[in-house]
């Protein structure tokens, strides 16, 4: 098992980093940026020696985990773009296996259930093809605005009925916009495919 966080200063991470420096001494693997090199060392160790990586949000961007095809979201971010980033570490072009995403969900918490249902059923975040949802998520509300609306629901609602009502309202507010953006994304994908096909036939 390997840990990946914002500082990577625990004894095990330091040991992995020192071994990595010795192994790659004199090569262009070493960038002389300790932060970047520590991240590279931990990813390499995960790929070659470890079975599990436990990571904070620090691992959601800038690393390639294409060799891994299982993502477990222990906590569900309220920002859908953050979930996209997490999954995108593994679900990349060149991935040889289906990527399995396991989401832990507190079913006794009505707000958590509402967040998951909205992400899954309306954004279809966990059932997409070739990252088409990137186009949708990037043009709906910004992830920050969406997250603020979720926070507001958590803060002002005190009963499951209130929470359910507010999530239904949020879904209604976004419904037409999501559908329109999804159509645009689909058209862009098809247009790009048609252009590439035309070029290959020319």
Model confidence at 142, in pLDDT bands (50, 70, 90)? low
Domain that holds residue 74: 60-201
Mean pLDDT score across all residues of the chain: 82
Average pLDDT rounded to a whole number, residues 137-154:
69
Classify residue 9: in a domain, yes or no: no
Q: Name which of 7-16, 39-48, 113-122 the model is least confident about.
A: 113-122
Q: Name which of 39-48, 152-161, 173-182 the model is least confident about.
A: 173-182
pTM of the model: 0.69
Classify residue 27: in a domain, yes or no: no
Classify residue 190: in a domain, yes or no: yes
pLDDT tens, residue by residue, 95-118: 889 889 898 988 888 888 888 887
Model confidence at 17, in pLDDT bands (50, 70, 90)? very high
Sign of the C-alpha dihedral computed for residues 68, 51, 62 and 17 taken in this order: negative
- What is the spatial distance between Cα 42 and Cα 64, in angstroms, rounded to a whole number? 11
Count of domains forming the chain: 1
Alpha-carbon distances, residue 130 vs 89, 97, 136, 154, 162 (angstroms):
14, 14, 12, 32, 36
Classify residue 145: in a domain, yes or no: yes
3-state secondary structure of 16: helix
Classify residue 186: in a domain, yes or no: yes
Phi-psi region of 151 (alpha: psi -120 to 50; beta: other; left: phi over 0): alpha
Alpha-carbon dihedral 136, 137, 141, 147, rounded to 10 degrees: 160
Classify residue 41: in a domain, yes or no: no
Cβ neighbours of 163 (radius 10 Å):
21
Classify residue 138: in a domain, yes or no: yes
Classify residue 83: in a domain, yes or no: yes
């Amino acid at each position: 098992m390997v840990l990946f966080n914002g500082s990577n200063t625990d004894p095990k991470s330091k040991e992995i980093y020192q071994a990595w420096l010795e192994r790659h001494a004199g090569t262009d693997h070493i960038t002389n940026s300790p932060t970047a090199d520590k991240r590279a060392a931990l990813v390499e160790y995960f790929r070659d020696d470890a079975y599990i990586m436990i990571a904070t949000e620090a691992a959601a961007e800038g690393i390639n985990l294409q060799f891994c095809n299982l993502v477990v979201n222990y906590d569900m971010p309220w920002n859908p773009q953050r979930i996209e980033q997490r999954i995108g570490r593994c679900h990349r072009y060149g991935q040889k296996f289906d990527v399995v995403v396991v989401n832990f969900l507190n079913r006794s918490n009505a707000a958590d259930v509402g967040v998951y249902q909205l992400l899954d059923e309306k954004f279809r975040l966990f059932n997409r093809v070739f990252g088409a949802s990137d186009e949708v998520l990037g043009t709906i509300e910004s992830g920050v605005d969406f997250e603020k609306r979720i926070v507001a629901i958590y803060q002002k609602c005190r009963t499951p009925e209130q929470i359910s009502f507010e999530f239904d309202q949020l879904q209604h507010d976004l419904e037409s916009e999501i559908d329109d953006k999804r159509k645009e994304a689909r058209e862009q994908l098809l247009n790009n495919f048609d252009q590439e096909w035309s070029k290959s036939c020319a």
